Amino acid sequence: MEPLESATMREEQDNIMIKAGIIGATGYAGGELVRLLTAHSKVEVVWYGSRSYIDKKYAEVYQNMFQIVDARCMDDNMEELAGQVDVIFTATPQGFCASLMKEEILSKVKVIDLSADFRIKDVPTYEKWYGIEHKSPQYIEEAVYGLCEINREDVKGARLVANPGCYTTCSILTAYPLVKEGLLDTDTLIIDAKSGTSGAGRGAKVPNLYCEVNENIKAYGVANHRHTPEIEEQLGYAAGKDIVLNFTPHLVPMNRGILVTAYAKLLPVTKADGQMGLPTYEEVKAVYDKYYRQEKFVRVLDKGVCPETKWVEGSNYVDINFVIDERTGRVIMMGALDNLVKGAAGQAVQNMNLMFGLAESEGLELVPMFP
């Protein structure tokens, strides 16, 4: 017989209906939020905020929502919105959320910010890499970095969640177990990443035009991409020391997906016979399993299988694997995710589920699309 406490908790969850508002609902990440939340059994979206399309029917902006979403786009008045909903998602450019954040809002509603405004704890670092003044630094300490697999318990009690970046989510989850367990010489860590064009947003930009992107691949933000300090900070927490690394992103001609390949020297470990030696495949695999065996959305692949973006497309999964290069003493770590789902909207929904006491996978049981 089910315990009374468990039955009561399940009944409370069954009765939950969360009212949500989205500011930036017509960007790619915002559109993905609409797609996921529309199918979420515990959520009603009541505000589709879009400064660019005020009073235009949402389904006229995204025709895939025809006869699914009948609402019109509204403005980005966060104070007014805070009085009408339980949670606000801000899928907006850097600086927007921070410019509006105040206690009157956070005292009424939970906020999940998909920008970088509250991800980096050091204000001068944020201002240096993003080139703007932080307008509400008083909330940075309170904000929880919403990488659920690492900060799950903190997310549950948060008023303000900083949803991680797409590159950073894939990079951190790919390397985190080995950094946390001290198996890597972090001074040698190099992260190479490739992303589909939706990661650059929906705005019209010449570098993202079809003729510029098609049949082409290019590095960008070399040695100065603004996700670098976010990766360094979070992996630094895992290592218990400051980390400085190289991160180089590349743009590839596909709609969705991120593939990370990270390289680092392995550190010797003490073997059963008391001798020092590099970790074996089994030892490294055991470390990944220690951290991810119970994680719904992190899949550590079988030996010899390399992650591919196609196998996670449209889903909240992250596929991870590694290869030890005994010749060089390095480990090659690989990760793949959908930049719009686990890299943005899916992770935001995962955070929302935790904040409201729902099952973490609610609304995210998405089988990857193929082909």
Residues 6+ apart with CB under 8 A from 153: none
Position 352, amino acid: M
β-sheet bridge partners, residue 72: 57
Report DSSP state, residue 161. Answer: E
Please state the separation of Cα 297 from the chain's center in Å. 12
Query: Do residues 274 and 161 make contact, with C-beta atoms less than 8 angstroms apart?
Result: no
* Residue from 73, 166, 211, 306 carrying the catalytic annotation: 166
CA distance 134 to 146: 19
Query: Residue 26 phi/psi, 5° resolution?
Result: -105, 5
Instruction: Check if 166 is active-site.
Output: yes
CA distance 29 to 342: 11
Three-class SS state of 192: strand
Instruction: Using CB atoms within 10 Å of the CB of residue 143, give its burial: 0 to 12 exposed, 13 to 18 middle, 19+ buried.
Output: buried
Catalytic residue positions, numbered: 166
